Structure 1
Amino acid sequence: MEVALWGGNFNPPGVHHAEIARALAEIAERVVIVPAGPRSDKHEQNAIACSFRAALVDIAFRGIPRIELDFSDLENQVFTTNDELTKRYPDVDLWHVVPYDFVEGGASSESLIQRWWQGANELWNQAKFLIVHDQDCVPNPEDLPPHHRLMEVRTKGRSLDIRSALVRGENVSNLMDPAVLGFIESRGLYRLSEPAHSRLISLDGRRGHYFFDPRNQAARDWAKRFSGVAIEEADYVVALGGDGTMLRAIEDFWERRIPFFGVNFGHLGFLLNDREDVTQSGFPAEDVIVRDLPLLRVESTLLDGSTRIDLAFNDAWLERSTGQTAWFELQVDQHPRFDKLVCDGILACTAAGSTAYAASMGATPMLADTEAWMLVGSNVMTPRGWKSAPISMNSTIAIRNLDPRKRPTQAFIGGKPLGEVTEMRIRPSRTAFVELAFLPEHDMAKKIANMHFPSG
C-alpha cells in the first residue's frame, strides 16, 4: 500500500486516532492526514480556531513514522472533498481511510459515502477503501465497496464524545494524549468561554531544551548551570543569545508546539527576557506569560512561473536586484491600493518582527501581541511620502512586479534569499504560530521607547 489518505475532523484528536495512525504506518508507505476545513453544515468544526486545530493534530501524531500532515484545508479555510483529494495523488496506489459506519448500508446504496460524497458512484466502484473498525463492529460483507480492506483496532473513540465531555467539564484523560489535553486545558478550548491566546504558566518542574550559539561564551556558561533535555523530551525551549538566536530556535522547533523562553545574551533582545530579570526571579520561573504569535504565510511566484510557500516569524520582503528602482502593484484583499509603487523594496512584517528590519526602514514598531501586521516601503519615490501602513490580521496583500524583465526583484523570507520573484501573496497563517514566554515584568514598550529615545 503506497498512500493511505485519511481525511477527518480530528476535532479534537483522541488516543484512538493515534492508534489508527500507528496501525496505518505499519501497512502503508505514506500516511497522509488531512484535517477538514470549515463547513457550513458542520458548525462543530468551527468551534475553535484553525490554528488551535492544527496544533492539536501536530501534537497528537508527533513521532509516529510515515505520517504526513496536510493542513491546506485549515490554512485556506476550505473543505476539500475526497474526489478532489484523490486528484492530488495521481498514479499512486491510493487508499481512502474511512470508519466502518461510512459503508453501512452499502448493499442498498444507502451508505454515507454513496449518499453524501461528491463523485460517490465513481469512488465507490473504482476507489480503494481501508475500513477501520473495532472487534464489536465488524462491517456486513454485503455492504462493502468492490475494492476494500479491513483494519481492526482495539481502541474505541469519537471526537464528538470527547468534545461533549470537555464542554461538560468531565475527565477525559483516558481518551486523550496528556500533551493534547494539556494544550486544550491551558487555553480553555471546547469550553463555553472564549479561548485564550495568552496565559500564565509555570516552568518550574518542566523540562527545558537549551538552544544557543556555542561561540557565545556567556550563554554557554549559563546553560551549564541547568540540566537540559533533548528537544523530543522538552516541555519548552530556552533560547540563550539575541533575537537572531531566538529566530533560529523558532525556525527549528516551532512545530513542536511548546513555549519559547528567551534570555538575552545579545544586544536589544526584543523577543527575549532580560538576563537580570531572569536572575532575580529565579529560573525556571514559577510564573511566565505565554503569548501565541502568528507566522506569516508567504506564497511566492518565481521567475519560471512556479510557486512556493514559506513561513516567516519576522518578515518577508521584495527588493530591486539591479540599479533601477522597482515598480510594484499593491493590492489589499484584492482591492488595488497602489497601481504603481516606485521604490527600492517593500517589506511585510509581523508585529513581533516590526522591531527588526522594518524599524531600520523608518517604521514605528508595534508591541509583539498587537492584533495587526505591517507593510513598509523602502526609499519610496511614488507615491511621495508613503512609508508604512498597519494591516488587519484578516487581510491578504498581493505585491506584483510590474516589469520583471527590465526591473527584476529578489525576495527574502526571514533574511534567507529566494532568488528572483515576480509576485508575493502574504497573510497571517491560520495554522502556524509561536508560543513566546515572558516574565511578568518584561516590558517591550520600554525597549521600543529606548530605541526611539536613545540616552547619551
Structure 2
Amino acid sequence: MTTASGLRLAMVSRDESPRVDEARRELLEFLLREYGLTVPSYSTPDDFNPSPDEPLDLVVALGGDGTILRTCRQLGQHQRPMLGVNLGRLGFLADLSPTEFCERFPRFVAREYQVVHHLMYSCRWQNRAGQEETWLGLNEVAVLAGAALCLLRIQLEIDGERVTQYSCDGLIVSTPVGSTAHSLAAGGPILRQDLSAFVITPICPHTLTNRPVVDRADSVYRLTVPDAPPGTMLVVDGQIKHPLEPGDVVEIRQAPVTFQLARLKDHSYYTTLRRKLGWSGQPLYGGQGAE
C-alpha cells in the first residue's frame, strides 16, 4: 500500500443526496485503499468549521462550483487551498471529474500542483438606521429588480467619485473568477482568473452607451438605488439574498484574504474555456469547411 506521506486532506460535499453521498463514499474508499488516507468528511459546507490553526494541505470540494463558493465563504478569514471535484457539468473551478481525481491524485501526493490566489471581495450593506451586514464572496455582487419587475435606477460611485446612474434591470460587480458566471450571461467580458480587477456589468441597460467597465481591485465601489421599489434585491454569489430599500448603501471592496485554488502545473485556463464554452474553432453552421 502506498502512503501519501504528510498530505493532509478534508472533504466537503455539496449535500447529502444519494448521488453525492455515493461519490463521496467511493472517493473516501479510494483514498484509504490506495494511499492509506483516512480523510475527515463533511456532508455540507455548513458543517465544515476547521480551527484557524488546523493544518490542511487541500480541501476537496465535491459537487461543483457552487460547493466551492459556499465552502470558500464558510472558511471566512482563514482560507485553505481547495480542489474541486465536479459531479455535473464541467465547472470553471471544479473541473475534475471523480475519475480524473483518482487518476491524477498521485501528482497531488508528489506535490506537483500549485496554489493560485484569486481576488475575493467584501460586500457591506447599510441602511438609513445604521444597521449593517458584511459578507465575504468570490464571484459577484448583483443588485436585481427581483419581484419588483420594473426598471431600476442604480447609482455607482468609485472611490467617492460619481460615475453614472444606470437605468437597467440590474447591475453586477464581478471578480475575474465571477466574470464567467452571471456577468458573462449579461454580456460582460471574460477576465483571466488571476487578474486583480472588478468588472461592472449592467443588465439590459436602457442606454446603449452603458457598457461593461473594468476597474482596479483596490478601489471601493458604492451602489445605491434611491427609489428602490419593493422587491429590489441584493444577491451575493447567487446564494445570499437581501432586500434593498431606498437609502440603503452597498459597498464592495477587495477582501483581505484570497481564494486559494489548487491546480496541477500543466493546467490551462484556456483549455477549460474551450471545453466549457464550446470554443472548438469550427464553424457552427454553413460556410467553407463546415462538416
Answer yes or no: same fold by TM over 0.5.
yes
1:211 equivalenced with 2:12 (yes/no): yes
**Aligned-CA RMSD value:** 2.4
CA displacement at 1:304 relative to structure 2: 4.8
CA displacement at 1:388 relative to structure 2: 1.4
Q: Aligned residue for 1:413?
A: 236
In 1: Cα distance, 2:213 partner to 2:276 partner:
20
The answer to whether the Cα contact below 8 Å between 2:121 and 2:136 also exists between their aligned partners in 1 is yes
Q: Aligned residue for 2:160?
A: 334
Change (3 A) 1:225 1:288: same
Structure 1 residue matching 2:244: 3-state secondary structure: strand
Change (3 A) 1:291 1:337: same
1:82-122, CA deviations, whole angstroms, 9 ceiling, x for partnerless residues? xxxxxxxxxxxxxxxxxxxxxxxxxxxxxxxxxxxxxxxxx
Q: Aligned residue for 1:388?
A: 212
The answer to whether the Cα contact below 8 Å between 1:372 and 1:393 also exists between their aligned partners in 2 is yes
In 1: Cα distance, 2:100 partner to 2:5 partner:
16
The answer to whether the Cα contact below 8 Å between 1:365 and 1:448 also exists between their aligned partners in 2 is no
Change (3 A) 1:241 1:220: farther
Larger Rg: 1
In 1: Cα distance, 2:196 partner to 2:73 partner:
22
In 1: Cα distance, 2:114 partner to 2:70 partner:
21
1:238-291, CA deviations, whole angstroms, 9 ceiling, x for partnerless residues? 112210111122122244332112222231211124235534433444211101
Identity %: 22
Partner AA of 1:208 in structure 2: L
Q: Aligned residue for 2:62?
A: 240
Which is helix-richer, 1 or 2?
1
1:175-233, CA deviations, whole angstroms, 9 ceiling, x for partnerless residues? xxxxxxxxxxxxxxxxxxxxxxxxxxxx8622100111332133442233222037455
The answer to whether the Cα contact below 8 Å between 2:91 and 2:276 also exists between their aligned partners in 1 is no
- In structure 2, the gaps of 5 or more residues are 32-37, 42-49, 285-291
Q: Aligned residue for 2:115?
A: 290
1:315 equivalenced with 2:140 (yes/no): yes
Q: Aligned residue for 1:109?
A: none
Residue in structure 2 matching 1:379, options 189, 204, 207? 204
The answer to whether the Cα contact below 8 Å between 1:243 and 1:266 also exists between their aligned partners in 2 is no
In 1: Cα distance, 2:163 partner to 2:171 partner:
14
In 2: Cα distance, 1:314 partner to 1:223 partner:
29
Partner AA of 2:159 in structure 1: D
In 1: Cα distance, 2:261 partner to 2:196 partner:
15
Structure 2 residue matching 1:369: 3-state secondary structure: coil
In 2: Cα distance, 1:204 partner to 1:357 partner:
41
Structure 1 residue matching 2:30: 3-state secondary structure: coil
In 2: Cα distance, 1:420 partner to 1:453 partner:
37
CA displacement at 1:381 relative to structure 2: 0.5
CA displacement at 1:351 relative to structure 2: 0.9
CA displacement at 1:356 relative to structure 2: 1.5
Structure 1 residue matching 2:83: 3-state secondary structure: strand
Residue in structure 1 matching 2:173, options 348, 355, 359? 348
The answer to whether the Cα contact below 8 Å between 2:119 and 2:176 also exists between their aligned partners in 1 is no
The answer to whether the Cα contact below 8 Å between 1:367 and 1:445 also exists between their aligned partners in 2 is no
Q: Write out aligned runs for 1:45-194 (5 A).
A: none
Q: Aligned residue for 1:221?
A: 26
The answer to whether the Cα contact below 8 Å between 2:69 and 2:137 also exists between their aligned partners in 1 is no
1:59-95, CA deviations, whole angstroms, 9 ceiling, x for partnerless residues? xxxxxxxxxxxxxxxxxxxxxxxxxxxxxxxxxxxxx
Change (3 A) 1:399 1:220: same
- In structure 1, the gaps of 5 or more residues are 1-202
Q: Aligned residue for 1:449?
A: 274
In 1: Cα distance, 2:204 partner to 2:237 partner:
20
In 2: Cα distance, 1:253 partner to 1:413 partner:
16
Structure 2 residue matching 1:311: 3-state secondary structure: strand
In 2: Cα distance, 1:371 partner to 1:381 partner:
29
1:403 equivalenced with 2:204 (yes/no): no
CA displacement at 1:454 relative to structure 2: 5.2
Partner AA of 1:355 in structure 2: T
Structure 1 residue matching 2:258: 3-state secondary structure: strand
In 2: Cα distance, 1:250 partner to 1:222 partner:
21
Change (3 A) 1:305 1:326: farther
Which range moves more in the overlay, 343-352 or 367-376? 367-376
Change (3 A) 1:454 1:208: same
1:16-38, CA deviations, whole angstroms, 9 ceiling, x for partnerless residues? xxxxxxxxxxxxxxxxxxxxxxx
Corresponding pairs, count: 250
